[in-house]
Amino acid sequence: MKKLIILFYTAAIVFTSCENKVESIEAKQTKLRTLKSELISLKGSIKDLEKELNASGKVKKVRKIPVRVKTLMGEKFEHYIAQAGTVVSKQNVMVSSEMGGLVTNVLAKEGDWVSAKTTIIAIDAEIMQNNVEELELAWELAKTTFERQKSLWEQEIGSELQFLQIKNQYLSLENKLAAAKAQLQKLNITAPISGTLEEVYVNPGELTRPGSPVFRIVNADEVIVEADIAEKYANILKKNTPVTINFKSLGTSKNAKLDFIGQVINPDNRTFKVNIQLNNSSGILKPNAVASLEIRDFSSANAMVVPSQIVKKDMRGDYLFVAKKGIAEKTYVSLGLSHSDQSMILDGLNLGDVIIIEGYNEVVSGSKLELKK
C-alpha cells in the first residue's frame, strides 16, 4: 500500500512539471510573436518618417572626407645618430720653459707662421754663458793634463792611481761641459712644430720659472672632429662608417668616415669616443669649433616607410589609417627606427597598402573618403 502511494505522488509531480514546461514554451512563443509584430510596426514607422524627411529636404547626406593617400612601396631608408662634436687640432702644443731666467727677447708675435726649430723666446744667457766658458777652460786644461799623463802611463812612468785620478777629473769636466751647453741651448725656446703662434704668455723683462708656459703653437692643416657616443651604439658603429659633419656657424658640411672608435667606456657618462680626420689646408675650421655629426647606423634598400606625423597612439598602441574601398580603416602597426620625419614600419602593413597621408586628423575608422589628386 505504501509503495502505491509513493508511485502516485511521483506521477503527480512529473505531470505537473510537464504541464508547467508546456505553459512556459507557449508563453515565450506568444511573446516572440508580439515582439516581431512590434518590430514590423517600427520598421514601417521609420520608413514613413524617412520619406517625410526626404520630402522636406532635411536629411543630411553622409559627408565624404577629402584625403590624400600614398601606396606603400619598398624604398631606401637610413637612420643616423645625431651627436655634437668638437674640432680639435692634431698639432696644438703648449710650450713651457725648461730653464728659469729673465726674458730678453720675444722673436715672433701672435698670429705669425713659424717653422719648426725657430727660436721664439730668448732668455738671458750671460750667467750660463760665463759658466760654459769657465768649464771649457777647465776642460781644456784637464784634457792636456790627461793626455800628458796618458803618454807617461804608456811609457810605464807614474802610478796607476795618479793616472786614473786625472782621467776621472777629465771625464767629469767633459760631462759637466756637455750638460752646461745643453742648458745654454734651452735658454733659447724654439717652436717644436711648424704652425701659427697662437698665444705668447711672456714679455721681455719678465722672469720665467722652469715648467711655466711661454707660448702656444697650432698647426690646423689637419684637424680631428671628436664626439662622445652613447654606450648602446658600441657594437653597431665600425671604422669607416659614413658620417656627415655639419658646421652651422660656417654654413657648410663635410662627408667623411669614422677613423677611430674608442674601446673604453667612460664610467662617468657611459660613452665612448669617435674621431674623424679632416683636411683643413684652407684653415676654415678652427680648433674648439662646434660640429653636428650624423653617423649612419642603419640602412635598408627596401623598407616600408611612412611619414612620422601620420602615426597616432592610443592605449592599444601605434596606429594609422589605411584607405580600403573608399573607407578609412584604423590599422595598428609596429614601428622601427625614425629619422628625418620618416618612420619605418616593421609589422601591420604590407607593400601595396594605401595609407592616408593628408586629412588623417579628420577621419575615424569607417569614414567615407574622397581621394584628392
Side chain identity, residue 208:
T
> Looking at residue 224, what is its pLDDT?
93
- Mean pLDDT, range 202-206, rounded to an integer: 90
Please report which confidence band the pLDDT of residue 17 belongs to, taking 50, 70 and 90 as the band edges.
very low
pLDDT single digits (tens) 287-306: 889 999 999 989 999 999 99
Question: What digits encode the pLDDT tens for the residues 235-270?
Answer: 989 999 999 999 998 888 999 999 999 999 999 999
Which of 287, 128, 119, 129 has its CA nearest to residue 214?
A: 119
Among 33-47, 192-206, 331-345, 353-367, which stretch is predicted with the lowest mean pLDDT?
Answer: 33-47
pLDDT higher than threshold 90 for residue 142:
no
Kindly report which listed range (62-71, 178-187, 233-242, 318-327) carries the lowest average pLDDT score.
178-187
Is the pLDDT reported for residue 110 higher than 80?
Answer: yes
Structure confidence at residue 125 as a pLDDT band (50, 70, 90): low
Which residues contact residue 266 at a Cβ distance below 8 angstroms, ignoring those fewer than 6 apart?
A: 228, 272
**How much is the pLDDT for 203?**
92
Distance CA 219, CA 287 (A): 10
Residue 134: the pLDDT is: 75
3-state secondary structure of 159: coil
Interatomic CA distance for residues 193 and 50, integer angstroms:
95
Question: How many angstroms separate the Cα of 204 from the Cα of each of 123, 200, 207?
Answer: 9, 11, 9
Does the domain at 66-77+302-371 match CATH 1.10.3720.10? Answer given as no
Q: Copy the grid coordinates of residue 229.
A: 657616443
- Domain spanning 81-87+216-299: which CATH class is it, in words? mainly beta
Q: What is the mean pLDDT of the chain?
A: 83
β-bridge mates for residue 255, sequence order: 244
Cα 64 to chain centroid, rounded? 46
Q: How far is C-alpha 167 from the chain's CA centre?
A: 67
pLDDT in tens, 71-88: 999 999 999 999 999 999
What are the residue ranges of helices labelled H in 92-237? 126-154, 160-186
- The Cα–Cα gap between 133 and 130 comes to 5
Say if CB 197 and CB 114 are below 8 A apart. yes
